[in-house]
Structures are given as structure tokens and as C-alpha cells.
A and B are shown apart, each in its own frame.
Chain A
Amino acid sequence: MPAAVTQITVILLLALLACTATTIVRMRDLWAAVMLTGIFSFLGACWMLILDAPDVAFTEAAVGAGIATVLMLGTLALTSREAKPPEHFPILPIAVVVMPGAALVFGTFDMPYFGDPFAPAHSHVMPEYMSDTVPDVRQIESHPGEPQDAHSDEHSDSQRNDSQDRGAHHGVGVPNIITAVLASYRGYDTLGETVVIFTAGIGVLLLLRGRRERRDVEEDGE
């Protein structure tokens, strides 16, 4: 996609995100607001796809637009569909939202530009991870003009040796560097995240199920 088209698409998507957010804030009908949050998440997923982050886009589309919307609808079925009009102009909430928002915008001025090769995220440990993780890309880059077929047998042999040696070095040898970082280099963090999800699931189950079973027990007692 040409750069200009990408830029226009990004601007359009961000404008649509802003419109959706403003509409959600101004809306009193909660059912429509929940639907709009689903649209908001979907637009966010499209935007992340343009930023070359398909993993995040998957998550945003499935969780934000799919499951979270359904959970909100399930909650709405238990409560009212209309929000109560506010009794007075919400000065304190607006201040609470605007001040951290302004601080965040101020903070972005110090951030490196998108795709900056000298950004700390790309210059600290990332080169080492990249060179250890993607040996095939390195090979191709070092011999750009070489025809692949001529040395195909030798090539596959050396690759097989590579994959057997790889345990001796600390390289991972998995083409998707995000998976390699998440599951191997940062394996402890991901274990912690899995335990967090586990705990969250147990917590929701305890909160939402405990009451119903107690009621059943009471009804049995009567």
C-alpha cells in the first residue's frame, strides 16, 4: 500500500475513533452505547493492523469487539437500558479525565517516532534477539544475489546442522520473533500472565456462582 493511502486511512480511522468515543460519552441509551463500544474496538483493530501489529488486532477484535460486547449485553439484561441523566454538570470527573489525558499527550512529545530505528526498543536487546532468532533471514541478507537452487542440498544440510546446534547457543530459531520473545526470552512474564488470567477466571467464577448456589441451598432448606 502506498504511504499516502496508508496515511489517509490512518487519519480516517482515528477520526472515526474520536467520533465514536464522543458519541458513546453523550449517549443515554446504554444498549446503543454498548454496540458503539464494539464498533470502537473494531476500528481500533483495523488501526493496529495498519500499524503492522496483527497479533494485537486479533486480540482487540476478538476480546474488545466480540466477547466484551457480549458480556456488556449480558450485564445490561440484568439492569436498566437507560443511563440516569446526571444531576449536575460533572466538573470533577471531567477534570480527572482531562488532566491525566493532557499529561499523557505531553509525554508523547518525548517518545521516538513510529518506526525509528534508534528507538530504545529497537536498540537495547532487540538486535541480539533478532540475530539469534531469525538465522535464515540473516543468511539470505548476507548473500542477496545468490541463486537458491544451486546449493540446495548443501543449504538444507547446513540448516539441519544449524537446528541441531541451536540448543548449544541460546538462540531460539523460531521465525516469529514476537512468539520467541514472549514464550522463550520472556517465559517467566508469560507464565505470570497466564496465572493472572487463571486467577481472574477463578475470581469471576467465585463471585458470580457463589450466590446462586447459596440461594439453591436456602431453597432446599425451606
Chain B
Amino acid sequence: MSPQIEEVGLSTTAERAAVVGAAGSTPDKDWVIVTRGLKREYDMGGEIVRALRGVDLAIRRNEYVAIMGPSGSGKSTFMNLVGCLDTPNAGEYWLSGQLVSTFKDDELARVRNKEIGFVFQTFNLLPRASALHNVELPLVYAGIGSAERKERAMEALTKVQLDNRASHRPNELSGGQRQRVAIARALVNRPAILLADEPTGNLDSTTSEEIMKVFETLANTGQTVIMVTHEPDIAQHARRVVVLRDGLIASDTKREAFSAKLVGL
């Protein structure tokens, strides 16, 4: 018996399966992310934990999606798979038209570098490096020369209005500024998706709003944003909300409907 609960979502399991298409087929260009029957299991000392039990999900270019779910729902596991930090036990993961679920470690590193911009809850800036150097790092791994690196890193910092803090170290910046540096770092290599994991988890509500505005602006300028959060009011900023429960998608709601549902409650 599947514990899957259908809410007032835009699509049922069958509908989602129809959207993601048949196994092995290359998704349409329009879909930046397609997962088909994605499964991830962990062996916890002999006991098999099924973190993801077959997730079908398709995300279009330029979408702004929040992934929600209680702890243990599999949302972290899902984020790690989408971020190419981990590989599934079964199922397919297509990212920008590439079947990355079959990729080896070095190829995954290249995909992370080129296609994904990470924003973490704890910022994860290198403490001993300046803001500028932190932002340069993905370009270092992309093999880009020093002059171009500096220029592009400066550009990215300007986008988050921190060009005047370029030489500051993380400990000389406020929480909100640190997260903006992290966003600049995530964007510097022009990734296909911006992947944010609880980006406001360590910030007060005012600063959270500030960061949400940055995301809003990025989404409005055509950046695909995927945000994992457990806070409904943060998720509310997204235009589509996917809720995971027990390793499966419990609901998949467009913003208007989601808001209506919240109002309706």
C-alpha cells in the first residue's frame, strides 16, 4: 500500500509519470530537470532505509520551485541527488539533457561546477578567503584564467550589491551579506539551476526577507531556482511547491493554488 496522499495538486502520480516521459527517452529541451522513478536507499547497519522510493518530477527552465516536507521525508536526499552530490540506486536523473545518474565522480564534479549553483544554510564560505576569492572558486575549478575570474567574480558580487565588500573576509560580513556572497558564488559560473538548501535557516526574519527578494529578482530574470525548505512562509515565495513525504511526492502545487489552499485552511 502506497502512503502517497494526493492533495489539491496540479497532477496525479499518473499525470506526473506522463509528464516525465518514458524511461530512457531524452526529455524535451524545455525541461531542465527530469527524474524518473528516482530511488535512494541507505544501509544503516544492516537495516535498509528507503529515503526515496521512486520520485517522478519535471522542472522547466525558469521555474522557481520550493521542495518541502517534514524531516525524514527524503527532501535532503532528493536535494543531494538533484545537486549531483550523490547518485541514485535506481531511476533516471536528467539534468540539462544529460543523463547524469550514470555519471562517474569526475563527471559529476564537472556537472556541479557548470550546471549547479549551491546556496547552503550555513553559507559555507571559506573562512580565510576574501569574498572575491570565495566567488572566484567555481571559476578556478572551471579552469578560467585569473583576469577573467576576477572580472566575473566582481560582476557577480555587484549583482548582489556587495562589490564594495569584495576584499572582506566572511567574519567581517553580516549573516545576510555572507549569504549574498554565497549566492554570488553560486551564480558566477552561470549555472542551469540555483539550488538552495534552507537558505534562510540561519538568518533572522528581516534578513530572510532580504535574501528572498534576491531570489525573487533572480527568478524574474530567468534563473531556474530550486529551494529546499521546511518553512511554509519561505516556500510561499516560490511559484511552485513540491511536498515530499516518506520518500515520495505528496503534492505538487502551483503558487496560486497553494496560496488559495493556505487561505482556504
A and B bind: no
A residues near B (Cβ < 8 Å) are none
B residues near A (Cβ < 8 Å) are none
